[in-house]
Structure 1
């Protein structure tokens, strides 16, 4: 089920042991060599009118500013946004943050091909066993009592091997939440599990519709994102249509193949269309059934809690000893890190 190239030989590439951004931040004063992706570049002038190249570089653990004082124009022409480079220089602390001062040698920046580095530098793999997650997904399907919904789910998640392969490896986002190989599967199973628990408390819910909607709410993301040697990228279809429309197309295709009754398809489509919850958040319609509202609220909760966890784990790794995280624009707040010993 899981593509070989996505899960094996994680450390066989020559440069796989080089430090990540989060490790560079602890190497102030040291000469370093590492592999990073170019996010942005621009030529600027210092006060003495000397030109320098300012680059923002990143990997899966964060981003860092880099300055080239020696070969600014040459390296500006050499690299483009999205390129992966081997870069050499010295770590310094400037303006209250770590900075990489690129070396003076001509090969301080070297362009790399995908075969020369481990793509896992730019994308994580789910912390959970993907085979077990897929088994959990199929268990949800086996518990569906409605034969029409079960037939639809089996056609998509069991019989279509190519779609299953895409679904198992797909991320749920480029950055915000579950941005990893298997992230979509992880998010989907988590939402379906929460929906199952919700049904225990709210007996009036149509459980089969709810679980079917939970399992399919983000399925369009299999075509919205792709994983390359440079990390997670948005596809042309993803940019032009978005995963809600792509998901609707997938469901209609398989609903026709399985003769799903129109009224059942309509309620399922409504869950897909409304799962972002608000018009300004990208849904063309507000949730107007109880099941649509539950899917929206629980998938939103799962995404936000994943973000909370990610921020907390990064702060712990940074050894910053701060009580509060930096402001997170996706959550619109700072996160309390429970370090009572550091303050009142």
Structure 2
């Protein structure tokens, strides 16, 4: 369970063991560089973890341009922590370049990315329930802070279901949770595949849609128009496994990929496959249910009956109403 973040304030005479209380991995929320003494550079950064938020500063001869907003980093301390003008003096900030299977990325989600912290808690619980191989795969896919931010903040569609800010993240959590509930009592279903499959099934939409700062809305990207989110996701998985030595049992790998790409009614000449596993069937059903329920909720009338028409649904959804079943 994630705990609310606290802000560390360290007085100059502090004997408190701040380094022992901080998590080893932190997210760079902001970073600034100013002229320092003797021709050096004064670096200042605000760091975030669900358990703590703090501001640090350190001196360097040269700027490490790899450290940018959204990066994951670790602090190297300079003896006893000392605070100066609201910033804790450190030796340096080290960029963490390689994905670590033990780091829960959902504990490193700034509030500016996702304001609904319940969503973050739910996602964190899903990740914690994964076996190590799937945790490593997820982290390898989203270690890049910019991609992770797009995954968390982007929509699941343009004008259809979950089309608002954080829409795709919410949809992915719903699909994973619904799939797990549908699998309860089903001994054949692999719950790990359902959990990670739900979390990432539409993750490629992080690159399918891009925010247009001129029009102030999300639009279809060139990659989305030409390649699509499913193929993008397959590329991410392949790159993550090849570059970061993600180890998965062959059955888990095949089961996950099949659950992600299987399509009901797809003709064989397309190269796709119909669902041939319980995980693929459940994931498809959970995906559709999450999308339609979100639309029905937005379009439903105040009481029972037909709701508002939606051009993509091409019909007015019908709602029985709560009062109709009061005698059951």
TM-score tier after normalising by the smaller chain length: 0.5 to 0.7
Q: How far has the Cα of 1:266 moved from its partner?
A: 2.4
- SS across alignment from 2:184: helix
Change in Cα spacing, 1:205 to 1:226, as seen in structure 2 (3 Å) is same
2:277 equivalent in structure 1: 289
Residue of 187, 194, 209 corresponding to 1:225: 209
1:259 & 1:223 partners in 2: Cα distance? 22
1:167 paired to 2:151? yes
1:143 paired to 2:129? yes
Please give the residue correspondences for 1:28-67 in structure 2 after superposition, counting only pairs within 5 Å: none
1:212 equivalent in structure 2: 196
Aligned residue pair count:
208
1:204 & 1:289 partners in 2: Cα distance? 9
5+ residue gaps, structure 1, are 5-127
* Contact 1:224/1:237 (<8 A) preserved: yes
CA RMSD of aligned residues (A): 3.0
Change in Cα spacing, 1:3 to 1:273, as seen in structure 2 (3 Å) is farther
* Contact 1:178/1:187 (<8 A) preserved: yes
Q: How far has the Cα of 1:268 moved from its partner?
A: 1.6
Change in Cα spacing, 1:177 to 1:265, as seen in structure 2 (3 Å) is same
Structure with the higher helix share, 1 or 2: 1
Residue of 201, 219, 224 corresponding to 1:238: 224
5+ residue gaps, structure 2, are 1-26, 31-113, 324-328
Change in Cα spacing, 1:263 to 1:332, as seen in structure 2 (3 Å) is same
Change in Cα spacing, 1:197 to 1:3, as seen in structure 2 (3 Å) is farther
* Contact 1:2/1:165 (<8 A) preserved: no
Q: How far has the Cα of 1:171 moved from its partner?
A: 0.5
* Contact 1:247/1:272 (<8 A) preserved: no
* Contact 1:2/1:169 (<8 A) preserved: no
Change in Cα spacing, 1:329 to 1:288, as seen in structure 2 (3 Å) is farther
Please give the residue correspondences for 1:61-76 in structure 2 after superposition, counting only pairs within 5 Å: none
Change in Cα spacing, 1:330 to 1:277, as seen in structure 2 (3 Å) is farther
Q: How far has the Cα of 1:2 moved from its partner?
A: 12
- SS across alignment from 2:180: helix
- SS across alignment from 1:232: strand
* Contact 2:188/2:278 (<8 A) preserved: no
Q: How far has the Cα of 1:197 moved from its partner?
A: 1.3
Please give the residue correspondences for 1:92-131 in structure 2 after superposition, counting only pairs within 5 Å: 129-131=115-117
1:325 equivalent in structure 2: 307
1:152 equivalent in structure 2: 137
